[in-house]
Structure 1
C-alpha cells in the first residue's frame, strides 16, 4: 500500500497520522474559541463578577495555540525523528506555548486594569492619574512582553546573564541610536510632573491648537478643531511656548463700537453709560469693565469696549456676547444713537 511507503525513516501512514493530530489541534482550538464566544460568555455575562469575563477574554485566543501544541506534541510520538530535529520541533512548541502565555498574561492584566483601576481613576478629581494610567498600561505590557522573550530565550538554551551583560555593554550604542525616543520619554515624564496641561485641556503651541486627548510615552495626541488627530513628539511640545486656554478663569472681550460723526457729545457720554450699565448688570460679565472714547477714525467716533466673561464654556461665552450686543443695539435704537458705517462725503466745487 502507498501508506506503507517509507520516507525519511517513517511511513506515509505515520506522517498522515501526524497531520491528523495537527488538524485536530486546529479544529478543537477553533471550536473552543467559538464555544467560548457564543455560549460560555453569554452565561458569564449574567454573573455578578467581572473576573470570569476577563479570564475568558484573555484565554480565547491562546487556547487555540495551546490545543494545537498539545495535539502536535502527541502527533510527534508517531514519528521517528533525528534527535536534533525532534529537539528543535519540541523547542518550537515550547516557544509557542510561552508566546500563548505572554498573550494571556498581557490581556488579563490589561483587562483587570481597565475594569477595576479605570473606574477608580475616572471617579478621582485628580487628572494626574488619568494621564498616568495609559502610560502605566503600556509600560506594563512592554515589561511582560520582554520578560516573556527572556523566558523563551532561556528555554531554548541562551545564557540570559551573558545576554544581559552584553546588553549592558551595548547599552550606550542603543541609547545613542534611540536618542530621540529617550528624549521624548523624558519629556513625557516632565509633562506629567510639571503639568502645563492635563487631559481635556484646550492648548495652543506654535501656530496650532486643539484639545489634549492623551499624553503617551513618546508623544502627545491632540484633537484639532477640524477633528483631525495631531500626534506631537513630547520633546517638541515641551520646548514650545504653550498657551493653556482651559486654565484661564475668564475670557476677555475687546471690541470697538463706532458712532456717527454727527453724534453730540452728550450722546457719546450717554452711549458710554449705556454700555457700562449693560455690562455691569449682566451676570456673566466680570470686571474690569472699560468703555472709553478712544479715536476719531476715518468715518466714526470710536468707543473701545473691554470686559471679561465667566469661563463657563464656549457656548456660554457666545451667548453672553450675543445678549450684550443685542441689549446695546436695543438701547441705542431707543436713544436714537446711530452706529457708524463706512461712508464717504464728496464735495463738488461749482465754477462760476
Structure 2
C-alpha cells in the first residue's frame, strides 16, 4: 500500500493543496483590494476636489479603507470554488464571509457618519459663539458610531444563529440598568449643557458660590473648574453648579463691600464724627474704589458697642481682593495714627 501524499489528505472535505490555493487567492484579493483602494482614492479625490459639494469627498474618504477588506471578501467568494468542503465547513465559510461583509459595511457607515458630522455639524459649531455645540459634536458622533456598531453586532449574531429577539430584550434591560447607574453622570452632563447654553458665567470670570470663590478655568460637560484665591484648582460637578446660586462677580459693574466696625461706648460725639470722616476719606483715597458710591453711617447701638456701617464699591472688579486689602490696611493705619480704637466683638 502506497503512503498517501500529504497534499492529498483531506481536511473538512478539501485537500491541503486546495487550502493553499484558497489562501493564495485570499492574499491576491487583499493585494488587489489595497491597490484598488490606493488608485480609487488618488484619482477620485482629484475629481471630487473640483466639485462644490463636500459629500462626494466624504464618500471617497469613507470607502477608501473598506475597499481593501471588500477585496478579501470577493476573493473568498471566488476562492470558494476551489474547495470541496463538508456541509459543516461550508456553513462556517458562509458565516465568515457574511461577517466580513458586515464588518466592511459597518466600517463604511462609521467613517461616513464621522465625516458628515465633522464636516457639517462641526463647521456649524465653529460659526457659533456658544461652546455647547462644540462640546456636543464629538458626543453626537460617538453616540452615532456606537449605534452603528451595535446594529452591526446584532446582525452578526443573527447570522451565526443567536436569538436576536432575546438579545435586543436583554439590551433594553441592560440599557435601563446603565441609565440608572449613570444617573449622576447624566445629571452632570445636562447641568453642563445648561451652563453652556445660558452662560451665567464664562471662562476667566470671577464667581462665588456656596463655599467656593475663584476664577473660572474651564467649563466642561461634566464639571466646572475654578482656581480659588489660594491658587488651588477646584473641580465642581455641573449638577451642583446648576442647582446652586452662583454670583458672577465679573459681570457686576462694581464689587460691593459692606461691613460693620464696632466702637466702644466711651467714644464721644467728636470722636464719632472723626471716625466717620476718616473712614470715608481713607476709603476714597484708595486706587480702584468708586468714590461716588462710598457710604459711612453711624448704624446702631449694639449690646456692647456702637456700630458703624461702611459700604464702598470697587470699580476694578478683577482686582477686588487687592483693593479690599489696601482699604483694610489703610483704615488700620489711620485709626492707629489718630489714636482711635475699635471694640472687641462679643
TM-score (normalizing by structure 2): 0.62
Question: Match of 1:63?
Answer: 67
Question: Match of 2:284?
Answer: 276
In 2, Cα distance between equivalents of 1:104 and 1:291: 73
Matches within 5 A, 1:1-352: 5-8=8-11, 9-35=13-39, 41=45, 44-45=48-49, 47-124=51-128, 129-130=133-134, 132-164=136-168, 166-167=169-170, 175-176=176-177, 179-189=180-190, 192=193, 201=203, 210-215=216-221, 220=222, 222=224, 237-238=239-240, 242=244, 244=246, 249-250=251-252, 252=255, 269=277, 272-273=280-281, 276=284, 288-289=293-294, 306-309=312-315, 317-318=318-319
Extract unaligned runs of 5+ from structure 2: 260-270, 300-308, 338-346
How far 1:58 moved relative to its partner?
A: 1.9
In 1, Cα distance between equivalents of 2:234 and 2:114: 25
How far 1:16 moved relative to its partner?
A: 1.9
The 1:172–1:46 alpha-carbon spacing in structure 2 relative to 1, beyond 3 Å, is: closer
Deviations for 1:57-112, whole angstroms, at most 9, x for unmatched residues? 32233222222222122122211111222212221221222122222212212321
In 2, Cα distance between equivalents of 1:199 and 1:130: 17
In 2, Cα distance between equivalents of 1:67 and 1:25: 5
The 1:32–1:211 alpha-carbon spacing in structure 2 relative to 1, beyond 3 Å, is: farther
In 1, Cα distance between equivalents of 2:91 and 2:257: 80
How far 1:20 moved relative to its partner?
A: 1.3
How far 1:39 moved relative to its partner?
A: 6.4
Deviations for 1:168-219, whole angstroms, at most 9, x for unmatched residues? xx8557644663214422553365358676795467787697544432xxxx
Deviations for 1:240-292, whole angstroms, at most 9, x for unmatched residues? 86565658522637699xxxxxxx9989958844853776xx8x969854579
The 1:244–1:197 alpha-carbon spacing in structure 2 relative to 1, beyond 3 Å, is: farther
Q: Secondary structure at the match of 1:77?
A: helix
In 1, Cα distance between equivalents of 2:177 and 2:20: 53
The 1:110–1:321 alpha-carbon spacing in structure 2 relative to 1, beyond 3 Å, is: same
The 1:184–1:274 alpha-carbon spacing in structure 2 relative to 1, beyond 3 Å, is: closer
- The answer on whether the counterparts of 1:254 and 1:305 sit within 8 Å (CA) in structure 2 is yes
TM-score (normalizing by structure 1): 0.61
Matched pairs, number? 302
In 1, Cα distance between equivalents of 2:37 and 2:201: 38
- The answer on whether the counterparts of 1:205 and 1:242 sit within 8 Å (CA) in structure 2 is yes
In 1, Cα distance between equivalents of 2:110 and 2:249: 37
Q: Secondary structure at the match of 1:49?
A: coil
Extract unaligned runs of 5+ from structure 1: 257-263, 295-302, 312-316, 333-337, 344-352
CA RMSD of aligned residues (A): 5.1
In 2, Cα distance between equivalents of 1:11 and 1:42: 47
